[in-house]
Amino acid sequence: MGLCTDLFLTFAKIGGFTLGGGYAMVPVMEKEIVEKKHWLKKEEFMDILVVAQSTPGLFAIDMASHIGYKLKGVLGGIIGALAVALPSIVSILLIAIFFQSFKDNVYVEKFFMGVRPCVVALILAPCFKMAKTAKITLRNCWIPIVCALLISAFGVSPIWCILAAGIGGFLYGKLSS
């Protein structure tokens, strides 16, 4: 089996078997790429992880294209990115086709009436964990509060918050050094 085929199958497997996506993929990827296939050393994998976190784009896709690129150049990158996205696209397409004809079904609606408040809680819960990783203290806690207020109460696009925070951090770093 060529490296390209192997890359495709490995990333399709990673994409297809991690429910929820994103960070849930990290341990699975590490096991496949570092321990099983020996494509990367543990340190190389960790370096890519840090860079994927600080580049724009979906985390899982960034990881896959980085690793593919490192192994087989641009083609490898494309294969990695597409392979990890493919199971997701196919499964949601099937659900979308199915859901369009069933979403007005009484039982489906009842099910989702129960699910919706749960989803809101599931989004809110990781905020506190993320606040810890983002090193939020009394001194900088105004940043998330102002962002959340601007977006939810004043309808400001999150894009402006990201730009302002990035540029603000850059200037703050320049001025304080």
**Of residues 82-111, those binding another protein (CB under 8 A):** 84-85, 87-89, 91-93, 95-97, 99-100, 103, 107, 110-111
129 phi/psi in degrees, rounded to 5: -70, -40
Restricting to residues 122-141, name those near another protein by CB under 8 A.
122-128, 130-131, 133-136, 140-141
What is each CA distance from 165 to 108, 160, 161, in whole angstroms?
41, 8, 6
Per CB under 8 A, 30 contacts another protein: no
Per CB under 8 A, 151 contacts another protein: yes
Q: Among residues 1 and 113, whose Cβ is nearest to another protein?
A: 113
Residues 32-51 vs another protein: string with x where CB under 8 A? ---------------x--xx
> Residue 146: exposed, middle, or buried by beta-carbon count in 10 A (0-12, 13-18, 19+)?
middle
CB 77 within 8 A of CB 65: yes
Restricting to residues 57-76, name those near another protein by CB under 8 A.
57-62, 65-66, 69, 74
Residues 6+ apart with CB under 8 A from 108: 102
